């Protein structure tokens, strides 16, 4: 049984996962309109960390930054994105935003280094966020919530450890977190 879903704005994430069957989201329609609310202002030449507050697997409110699950394919689900408590360490993801489209959506490029060459923040067809290099899913922060250009509602996170590398995975249709971009 596959976790792949049809690429439409009415996507529904499966309750399993992340899964080795997850496929990249391939846009087949126009992006959604910008969510109502206050958009976080950014500078095109700046590099940012994504800082967030979320509830961990014990229900505690914690804060931290986005990281890759791993730096290469020897770690299962290495290209997925997770939160790690605390300050930004050397492997925290650094983003620079592409020019916004007419609705304010931007590609969130990831600073190139040995493990992130040519990657940007992207979304699997099942809703899990990962470091992709092919498709143009875009994001923006509105009212301190991260939104995806092809998914209704804000991004969220959930702790997963069964059949995947343990971590606080980011995805859609999960308990929402609050966030902001912090200059590097």
Q: How far apart are CA 181 and CA 126, in angstroms?
A: 25
Angle (CA) 74 137 66, round 5° = 50
- Summarised one tens digit per residue, pLDDT across range 68-123 is 999 888 888 999 999 999 999 999 999 999 999 998 999 999 998 877 878 999 99
The per-residue pLDDT for range 117-135, each reduced to its tens digit, is 789 999 999 999 999 988 8
Q: Summarize pLDDT for 21-40 with one digit per residue, the tens.
A: 788 888 888 899 989 999 99
pLDDT at site 151? 92
pTM: 0.88
DSSP letter for each residue of 85-137: ESS--TTS--EEEPPP-TTS-B-EEEPPSTTTTT-EEEEBTTSBEEEESS---
d(CA 19, CA 112): 26
Domains of the chain: 48-183 (2.80.10)
Mean pLDDT of the chain: 88
């Amino acid at each position: 049984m596959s976790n792949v879903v049809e690429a439409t704005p009415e996507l529904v994430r499966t309750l399993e996962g992340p899964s080795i069957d997850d496929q990249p989201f391939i846009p087949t329609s126009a992006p959604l309109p910008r969510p109502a609310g206050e958009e976080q202002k950014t500078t095109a030449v700046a590099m940012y960390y994504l800082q967030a507050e979320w509830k961990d697997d014990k229900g505690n409110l914690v804060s931290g930054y986005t990281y890759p699950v791993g730096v290469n394919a020897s770690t299962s689900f290495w290209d997925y994105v997770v939160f790690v408590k605390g300050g930004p360490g050397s492997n925290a993801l650094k983003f620079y935003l592409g020019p916004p489209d007419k609705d304010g959506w931007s590609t969130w490029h990831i600073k190139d280094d040995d493990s992130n060459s040519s990657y940007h923040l992207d979304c699997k067809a099942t809703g899990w966020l990962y470091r992709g290099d092919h498709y143009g899913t875009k994001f923006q922060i509105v009212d301190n919530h991260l939104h995806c250009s092809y998914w209704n509602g804000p991004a969220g996170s959930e702790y997963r450890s069964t059949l995947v590398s343990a971590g606080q995975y980011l995805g859609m249709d999960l308990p929402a977190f609050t966030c902001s971009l912090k200059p590097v």
